[in-house]
Structure 1
Amino acid sequence: MQLEINDLHISYGATPVVQGVSLHLDQGSIGCLLGPSGCGKTTLLRAIAGFEPVAAGEIKLGERVVGSPCCSLPPEQRRVGMVFQDLALFPHLSVGDNIAFGLGKIDTGQRWRRVAELLRLIGLEESGPLYPHQLSGGQQQRVALARAMAPRPELLLLDEPFSSLDMEIREKLAREVGQILKQEELTALLVTHDQFEAFAMADEIGVLFEGRLQQWDTAYNLYHRPRTRFVADFIGEGVLLPGVVSAEGGVETGLGRLQGVGDGTVRAAHPPGSRVSVLVRPEDVIHDDASTLKAEVLRRDFRGANILYTLRLASGDPVQALVPSHCSHAGGERIGIRADVRHLVIFAD
């Protein structure tokens, strides 16, 4: 295990910012801290780097405790690399010299062999003599990554590294950076508020809200098996549809009776008659002109091959449906739909 955090608390004065966070990240894995602005993810990253004091709990790198209320290694002794949001490349140094800067005092031959190795790894073999202003934003991002990777840190931290880039290239670059880190067998932890970056890059993702870790899991489980209402609402799209647990099984909702994998667990956890909320994703609602169940189109978001419709059921509850874009309907139209919920995710009201 490369990174281990146990019951960590961080405060600014009397204000708690991180509360009781525990997680672990194995050697060679890429983790991500994901959440809205102000949830504590950057504070947690800075504490791992050694820039924020720990009020309670501990941070371990390998077998070493590097952060606790009674023991805190300074940042330069933690063997942690960091890629900052603003990249912080030196404008007066060439690309090669920027990468070499992090290597310290080592043999000159070793230094430039490592720089050449990293330039090949990031796909900028011919760019060593250039200066940062001569590169695109994505290329500058790769150079900042190479500089942080140069001394082979035990852990690499990335603080919102793609936030300054255009949205259309963020996911692509996140995937490329993930591949580079895997080739170097580096352990890394990314902070972002963009779940698509997290999905493209991370092996495990932690969702933070108000300083608490809601769930540390794979992207698949966060989407299909969220443990809290916040994770269900924050990850992906969809609605929490109100319903009542049926004595016959499943949950009665405005979409009809919903049944699926997890139905037995629902009856065990929620007695018949219990009011609950069911997570319904857009792909769970199928457009079907032959269906007797109708819903009014409130909004349509064109997405090329698909249209995301926001619909109002006869019960007044909203749902979303992802429909092939050749099935085009205007606002106010009533269209036929049916539910195809394969897995019930239920929260008590």
Structure 2
Amino acid sequence: MSCLQVENVSCRYNGRDVLEQLSLTVADNEIVCLLGASGCGKTTLLKAIAGLQPLANGVIRLGSTLLDGPETNVPPEARQIGMIFQDYALFPHLTVAENVGFGLTQSDRPARQHQVNQALALVNLEGLGERYPHQLSGGQQQRVAIARALVCKPKLMLLDEPFSNIDTQVRMKLILEIRTLLKQQGIGAIFVSHSKEEAFAFADRLALFRAGHIEQVGQPEQLYRRPQNRFVAEFLGGVNYLTATVVDSHCVQTALGRVCGSEPHGRAIGEQLQLMLRPQQLQLEHVQEGGWEVLEQQFLGHHCRVVFTCAGQRIEASIGEPLAGKRARVTVAAHALVLFEPLP
């Protein structure tokens, strides 16, 4: 069942098209990340869903409720959507409890206090209700913003770069905490980021944006391992391209030798294509003679970056331990082959 449906939405900003005929769905209790570079339209879509950006055309539905469409525009405060901002947007002159309860105007004081206490407990901030935002860490301030959004019991949560101001050492911990919290509360969410690491850790599905449209939607692993085009492949991580000739239903011939996939690739025998290889898909073994020349090695803690030459081309690999010498035998780990048409 879909929590949110965005259908053929277009938006204009400062006289130019920012979104063009864009469609997206979010299932109940699903977290979808809008991933892309700055200025590609991610935040514009988030604002349109929140009711802060008018549509040029298209419709937006939350469950069975039409939020935007011909002659329909539900105001932001009536959409049952919570929004969490990059800068937290807390009131500095209000306490934590007052910030969380700010939107509970329809409740009496005891009921409001009970709801605030429940929300603070959900985000592990019990006992901090009397503090002010400046007395909290960045991670704690973000938890206050989350509690403020949750206290109104939204049907959908929107998160705009919510982790960019959090220290690196606590960011992943906070990401996992918020993901667990949203799942426990049964709330669907749309999360905007330009960081693929955050997206991989937080989202159930990614929608990769480029210049106002979506290039590919799918599970993070699917987009990483089976990108539909070069833009998706290169945005999500390092890539190598090798000229490849199709020799049968599973294999291609390259400068590294015959490379076979774990399933049929669907290409015709004899086609001249380019094989995409992630650095992690290359396996290197030191040899005294033969093999390929190693040009660079860089130890990066959790892996070692190695650059070697292959038929005059620089190829990058990622391996667990540094090589002992300057020559290496190279093999390709089993995987489903990704083949692209040659560049013109």
With structure 2 as the length reference, what TM-score do the two structures score? Answer: 0.92
Kept in 2: contact 1:43–1:52 (CA 8 A): yes
Q: Which string of whole-angstrom CA distances, capped at 9 and with x for unpartnered residues, describes residues 65-115 of structure 1?
A: 212354222211211111111111111111111111122221222211111
Aligned residue in 1 for 2:82: 81
Q: Tell me what 2:23 maps to.
A: 22
Which secondary structure does the structure 2 equivalent of 1:288 belong to? strand
Residue 243 of structure 1 and its aligned partner are, at CA, apart by: 2.4
- How far residue 123 of structure 1 moved from its aligned partner, in angstroms, is 1.0
Gaps of 5+ in 2: none
Aligned to 1:286: 283
Structure 1 residue 248 displacement after superposition = 8.1
User: 1:295 touches 1:336 (CA, 8 Å); kept in 2?
Assistant: no
Cα distance in 1 for residues equivalent to 2:128 and 2:249:
68
For 1:320, give the aligned amino acid.
Answer: E
Residue number among 339, 342, 348 corresponding to 2:341 in the alignment: 348
Cα pair distance change 1:180/1:214, threshold 3 Å: same
Q: CA 1:94 to 1:68, structure 2 compared with 1: closer, same or farther past 3 Å?
A: same
Residues 1:20 and 1:255: Cα distance change in structure 2 (over 3 Å): farther
- Separation in structure 1 between the aligned mates of residue 272 and residue 15 of structure 2, nearest angstrom: 38
Q: Which moved more, 1:112-121 or 1:255-264?
A: 255-264
Q: Which letter maps to 2:292? A: K
Residues 250 and 263 of structure 2 are in contact (CA less than 8 Å); yes or no, is this contact kept in structure 1?
A: no
User: Per-residue deviation at 1:142?
Assistant: 0.6
Deviates more, 1:336-345 or 1:146-155: 336-345
Q: CA deviation at 1:39?
A: 1.1
Alpha-carbon contact 2:251-2:261 (below 8 Å) kept: yes
Match of 1:305 in 2: 302
Closer, same or farther: CA 97–284 of 1 in aligned 2, 3 Å: same
* Whole-Å separation in 1 of the counterparts to 2:224 and 2:97: 41
Which residue does 1:323 correspond to in 2? Answer: 319
C-alpha displacement at 1:237, in angstroms?
2.6
Distance 1:170 1:317 in 2: 38
Query: Any idea what SS the aligned residue of 2:262 has?
Result: coil
Change (3 A) 1:303 1:7: same
Check conservation: 1:233, 1:239, Cα contact below 8 A.
Answer: no
Query: Is the contact between residue 262 and residue 345 of structure 1 (CA under 8 Å) also seen in structure 2?
Result: no
Percent identity, please.
39
CA–CA separation in structure 2 for the residues paired with 1:285 and 1:34? 27
Partner in structure 1 of residue 274 of structure 2: 277
Of the structure 1 ranges 154-163 and 18-27, higher mean CA displacement relative to structure 2 is found in 18-27
2:130 corresponding residue in structure 1:
129
Q: Deviating runs (4+, > 4 A) in structure 1?
A: none
Q: CA deviation at 1:263?
A: 3.6
Q: Which residue is 1:182 aligned to? A: 183
Which residue pairs with 2:331 in the alignment? 338
- Measure, in 2, the Cα distance between the counterparts of 1:160 and 1:304: 28
Q: Please name the residue that 1:232 is paired with.
A: 233
SS of the counterpart of 1:277? Answer: strand
The structure-2 alpha-carbon separation of the partners of 1:296 and 1:232, relative to structure 1 and needing over 3 Å to count, comes to: same
Inter-CA distance 14–128: structure 2 relative to 1 (3 Å threshold): closer
Distance change in 2, residues 1:263/1:293 (3 Å): farther
1:46 aligned partner: 47
Local SS of the residue matching 2:72: coil
SS of the counterpart of 1:266? coil
Question: d(CA) in 1 for partners of 2:49 and 2:265?
Answer: 42
Q: CA deviation at 1:61?
A: 0.7
Quote the Cα distance in structure 1 between the aligned partners of 2:242 and 2:261. 15
Whichever residue aligns with residue 81 of structure 1, its letter is G
From the superposition, tell whether residues 264 and 226 of structure 1 become closer, same or farther in structure 2 (CA, over 3 Å). closer
| Matches of 2:125 and 2:323, distance apart in 1 | 45
Asked whether the 8 Å contact 1:295–1:337 carries over to 2, the reply is no
Q: AA paired with 1:317?
A: Q
Contact 2:299 2:322 in 1 (8 A): no
TM-score, structure 1 as length reference: 0.91
- Counterpart position of 1:34: 35
- How many matched pairs? 340
Determine the C-alpha separation between the residues in 2 that align with 1:20 and 1:262: 34
**Matched residue type, 1:293:** G
Contact preservation (8 Å) 1:280, 1:341: no
For 2:183, give the aligned amino acid.
K
C-alpha separation between the residues in 2 aligned to 1:11 and 1:262?
A: 44
Structure 2 CA distance for partners of 1:160 and 1:220, relative to 1, 3 Å = same
